[in-house]
């Protein structure tokens, strides 16, 4: 993959919000939401409590030219709503595959935001993937419903380490074949 293709992270539009590349000006809202234990506990990588500088370090990492994942924020400012409602990530894997992960701020739970973000990113397929994987904690059935509603197929159980829980957590794994 060329550096030019890594630098290009497209805007993905939906009717309600845009998925736009994360930027340093998002750190305040991202830190506010990621500091919420309800958000951190449902992700493998967000620590709780959130250490100072963690969000800035993440933004630096995912906006670097050489990176292995792209992060978009769910920005509904075009419809008069929040500038950051959550985030969605595509992490590059081998064999033209990626893994999608997402979180939504609690005040936007049960509004279809996650489903719309996943659907839009799948439709855009910005990395030109043949398949996209996803994994969710088994105690987060709402996130599993998002994947099923977006056409992902369940392929098995596994476990992932959750930083905020300091424990391995059972997961469900899904795939969406795009070719």
- Model pLDDT for residues 22-33, shown as the tens digit of each residue: 999 999 999 999
User: What is the model's pLDDT at position 6?
Assistant: 46
Going by pLDDT thresholds of 50, 70 and 90, the confidence category of residue 8 is confident
DSSP 32: H
Instruction: Name the token pair of 150.
Output: 């977006």
How far separated are the first and last CA of the chain, in Å rounded?
19
Pick from 179, 86, 73, 93: nearest CA to 134: 93
Phi, psi of 160 (to 5 degrees): -140, 150
For residue 36, count CB atoms less than 10 angstroms from its CB and return exposed for 0-12, middle for 13-18, buried for 19 or more.
Answer: middle
| Residue 79: CB atoms within 10 Å | 12
State the chain's mean pLDDT as an integer: 95
Q: Are 62 and 71 in contact (CB under 8 A)?
A: yes
Going by pLDDT thresholds of 50, 70 and 90, the confidence category of residue 7 is low
For the stretch 75-118, pLDDT in tens is 999 999 999 999 999 999 999 999 999 999 999 999 999 999 99
Judged against a pLDDT cut of 70, whether residue 1 lies above it is answered with no
């Amino acid at each position: 993959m060329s550096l030019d293709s890594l630098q290009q992270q497209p805007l993905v539009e939906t009717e309600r919000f845009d998925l736009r590349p994360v930027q340093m000006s998002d750190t305040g809202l991202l830190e506010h939401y990621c500091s919420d234990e309800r958000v951190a506990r449902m992700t493998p990588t967000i620590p709780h409590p959130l250490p100072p500088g963690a969000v800035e370090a993440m933004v630096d990492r995912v906006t670097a030219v050489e990176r292995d994942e792209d992060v978009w924020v769910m920005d509904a400012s075009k419809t008069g709503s929040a500038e950051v409602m959550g985030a969605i990530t595509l992490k590059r894997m081998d064999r033209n595959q990626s893994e999608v992960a997402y979180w939504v701020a609690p005040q936007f739970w049960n509004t279809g935001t996650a489903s719309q973000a996943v659907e839009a990113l799948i439709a855009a397929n910005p990395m030109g993937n043949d398949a996209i994987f996803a994994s969710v904690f088994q105690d987060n059935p709402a996130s599993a419903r998002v994947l099923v509603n977006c056409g992902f197929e369940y392929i098995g159980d596994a476990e992932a380490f959750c930083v905020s829980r300091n424990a391995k957590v059972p997961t469900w794994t899904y795939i969406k074949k795009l070719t």
